[in-house]
């Protein structure tokens, strides 16, 4: 393991085995076990014993902290559903069979995830660390009064609001395959938060939003940025679109803190999406985020091939710490977790690039979106 000891930032990793007390159900694609798998792989690489880093036990948020964004009536419904039994009004709040099941402890789960994101934000805001990573966070679909897309409480919005309350200027970057609609909606009319989401086009997948013409309104016009990617987009297009749009916006906006959602569901083997990223392009983007972020609150997000999640977030944590890990996954880890679809014994994916006419059509579409953003958004904020 290679380390750059001269330039090692102060970092914090937030986790708790208490996450494993909760379960969306055996047929649900959201597997909380992926958090434990990631933690164990990071630990196997020795990345929790770095001299610059600290492990922080995740703690639950208080009800009042969730109420800084969510409606009180909705919170009362979540509390009632916490016993694992549907309440009469559950359907009207997005709860029930399907994406957002009622399971025992769903409110406690949401409080623990949100608490960890608030801890991460506080650690960065008060200067204890330069980077904090809460892999459980990034539940970007929940809105103020409704669950959506596996998300009951929007920990991102709650964490960002805690930073705004401290007078911090915040930029939000979302690289999940699904549009960060809940976060966008929360800040759509303000210029105090710049939100950027690069995701698979809403023409193909949930939530059906996030088109390039969604640029904010009123004071927020120009401060909501969306980069919809065509299906089958590969690492080359992902990195190209990101580099063309995100660094110039961050440079102009000059945030005090960057908050990111680092979803891993854009990878080619993910069962819920149609993108063809690998962790090679993902790591390029994570490295660029690190480069452009003065302070960084990193959150998890989607990812439904759990081996991919563990590998990608381990690599991301290594990048946050200026560490290069060996390509061979530690043998002891593989002996215990090989059944979790670790089809390769290497942490880095094979490089994959689309070719031919389909690639050219995708390149044209990505180019069109980039031109639109530069003409309509860059001009609004003076780039």
Task: Summarize the confidence of residues 114-139 as an average pLDDT.
Answer: 98
HEC readout, 103-171:
CCCHHHHHHHHHHHHHHHHHHHHCCCCCEEEECCCCCCCCECCECECCECCCHHHHHHHHHHHCCCCEE
Residue 262 near residue 301 (C-beta atoms within 8 A): yes
- pLDDT-based confidence at residue 2 (cuts at 50, 70, 90): low
Residue 172 near residue 193 (C-beta atoms within 8 A): yes
Q: Tell me whether strands 2-3 and 323-324 are parallel, antiparallel or unpaired.
A: antiparallel
Is this structure's pTM higher than 0.85?
A: yes
* Sign of torsion over alpha carbons 306, 309, 314, 315: positive
- 255/253 Cα distance (integer angstroms): 6
From 70, 140, 141, 179, active-site residue: 179
CA nearest to 226, candidates 251, 252, 183, 197: 197
Residue 285 near residue 174 (C-beta atoms within 8 A): no
At residue 339, the pLDDT reads 82
- Buried b / exposed e across 289-321, counting CB within 10 Å, b at 16+? bbebbebbbbbbbbbbbbbbbbbbbbbbbbbbb
| CB-facing half-sphere around the CA of 6: CA atoms within 13 A | 0
The pLDDT tens digits of the residues spanning 235-259 come to: 999 999 999 999 999 999 999 999 9
At residue 6, the pLDDT reads 61
Domains of the chain, start order = 15-378 (3.40.800.20)
At residue 8, the pLDDT reads 83
- pLDDT-based confidence at residue 1 (cuts at 50, 70, 90): low
Q: In the annotation, is 140 catalytic?
A: no
């Amino acid at each position: 393991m290679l380390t750059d000891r001269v330039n090692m930032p102060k970092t914090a990793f937030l986790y708790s085995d208490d996450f494993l007390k909760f379960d969306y159900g055996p047929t649900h694609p959201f597997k909380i076990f992926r958090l434990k798998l990631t933690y164990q792989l990071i630990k196997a690489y020795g990345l929790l014993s770095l001299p610059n880093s600290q492990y922080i036990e995740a703690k639950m948020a208080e009800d009042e902290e969730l109420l800084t964004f969510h409606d009180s009536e909705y919170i009362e419904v979540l509390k009632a559903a916490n016993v694992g039994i549907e309440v009469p009004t559950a359907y009207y709040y997005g709860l029930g069979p399907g994406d957002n099941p009622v399971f025992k402890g769903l409110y406690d789960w949401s409080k623990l995830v949100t608490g960890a994101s608030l801890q991460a934000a506080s650690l960065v805001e008060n200067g204890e660390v330069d980077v904090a990573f809460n892999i459980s966070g990034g539940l970007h679909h929940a809105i103020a009064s409704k669950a959506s897309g596996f998300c009951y409480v929007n920990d991102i919005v709650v964490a960002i609001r805690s930073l705004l309350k401290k007078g911090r200027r915040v930029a939000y970057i979302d690289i999940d395959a699904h549009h960060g609609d809940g976060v966008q909606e929360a800040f759509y009319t303000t210029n105090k938060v710049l939100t950027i989401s690069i995701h698979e086009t809403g023409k193909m997948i949930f939530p059906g939003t996030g088109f390039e013409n969604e640029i904010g309104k009123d004071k927020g016009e120009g401060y909501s940025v969306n980069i919809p990617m065509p299906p089958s987009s590969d690492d080359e297009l992902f990195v190209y679109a990101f580099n063309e749009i995100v660094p110039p916006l961050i440079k102009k906006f000059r945030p005090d803190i960057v908050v990111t959602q680092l979803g891993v569901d854009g990878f080619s083997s993910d069962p819920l999406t149609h993108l063809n990223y690998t962790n090679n392009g993902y790591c390029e983007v994570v490295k660029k985020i690190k480069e452009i972020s003065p302070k960084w609150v990193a959150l998890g997000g989607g990812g439904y091939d759990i081996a991919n999640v563990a590998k990608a977030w381990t690599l991301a944590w290594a990048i946050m710490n200026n560490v290069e890990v060996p390509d061979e996954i530690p043998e002891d880890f593989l002996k215990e977790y090989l059944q979790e679809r670790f089809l390769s014994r290497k942490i880095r994916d094979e490089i994959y690039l689309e070719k031919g006419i389909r690639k050219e059509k995708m390149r044209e579409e990505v180019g069109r979106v980039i031109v639109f953003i530069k003409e309509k958004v860059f001009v609004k904020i003076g780039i």
